[in-house]
Amino acid sequence: MEFTCKDFKVGKCEREKLVHGETMPLVLQLPTDGKNDMESLLEALGRNKEWFEEMIIKNSAVLLRGFDVTSAEEFNDIVEIKEFPKKVILFCEVPPPAGGETPFVPSFRVTERMLEEFPEFVEELDKKGLRYTFTALSNDDKSSMRGRGWQDAFGTSDPAEAERRAKALGMDVEWLPNGGVKTILGPRSLTRVFDGRKGRRMWFNTLVGMQGKELSSATMADGSEIPEKIVRRCEEIIEEESIQFKWEKGDVLFLDNYALLHGRRPSLPPRRGLVATCK
């Protein structure tokens, strides 16, 4: 790999992968003779904004490791460099004793493999589009990771404002007799191609996460059902293509949200991580 930035050196992490010639995640550290404090890191990022953006797009995931970033307040200093649109940034303040990995998947690989196994289905669904249905409860259900109340989902306790925000996102809204709300979104693309990413067809959807769940579903936009065996096979492919590493204290991970799917593994406490998105 050609590496031309004198402010960083390439490191290694356990279970990184080489995907079509690109290392995921690309681990960046300061040179051995450089300082690893927050001020030095911010200065290095400031001098190399365009280059750093290129690395995120090229490798899809960039892990800053070995820097003295120890608190949420210092993480906020990094996040405030808002030069990287459509990115997800994760910070590990307290790594869990076991589990808690953040698996991420090169989404073009999911498209490639789904096309190999189900070419007619992929093309049909991409042409028709997806329709998502999600029910937000009247109140939060703390016993369920998916049991968000509509107040939490839309960030307001005002039904009229919640409906306005839902419609601004392209959702149709149906208020339910039990006080919850049903939202319908679609048609949405199955795959997308984004500029600067080698013309790759990204698996840009939440089919696996929405289909067949207690409070959500996914169908073709015309209402046609999606075969369960295809959804389950897609889930297997995503798992097979996933990349993950054990978090270390102070790690900062930048993900290209156009190019990657990501999730979270269960973990033992204690665990504290922060996430931010750059629009």
Q: Which pair of structure tokens corresponds to residue 72?
A: 């949420």
HSE (side-chain half, CA atoms, 13 Å) at 61: 28
Q: Which pair of structure tokens corresponds to residue 52?
A: 């750093």
pLDDT value at residue 93: 93
Alpha-helical (H) ranges within the chain are 38-47, 49-59, 72-79, 107-117, 119-128, 150-154, 159-168, 207-210, 228-241
pLDDT value at residue 31: 79
pLDDT value at residue 189: 94
pLDDT value at residue 259: 97
Q: Which pair of structure tokens corresponds to residue 257?
A: 């949200």
What Rg, from alpha-carbon coordinates, does the chain have? 20
DSSP 126-185: HHH-EEEEEEEBSS--TT-TT--BHHHHHT-S-HHHHHHHHHHTTEEEEE-TTS-EEEEE
Beta-bridge partner residues of 276: 89
pLDDT value at residue 143: 47
pLDDT value at residue 148: 73
pLDDT value at residue 75: 59
Beta-bridge partner residues of 19: 22
Please give the chain's pLDDT, 279 residues, in tens: 456 688 899 999 989 999 999 999 999 998 766 677 778 888 888 999 999 999 999 999 999 998 887 665 655 555 444 333 489 999 999 999 999 999 999 999 999 999 999 999 999 999 999 999 999 888 765 544 455 789 888 889 999 999 999 998 889 999 999 999 999 999 999 999 999 999 999 999 999 999 988 889 999 999 999 999 999 999 999 999 999 999 999 999 999 999 999 999 999 999 999 988 876
pLDDT value at residue 146: 53
pLDDT value at residue 84: 37
pLDDT value at residue 235: 97
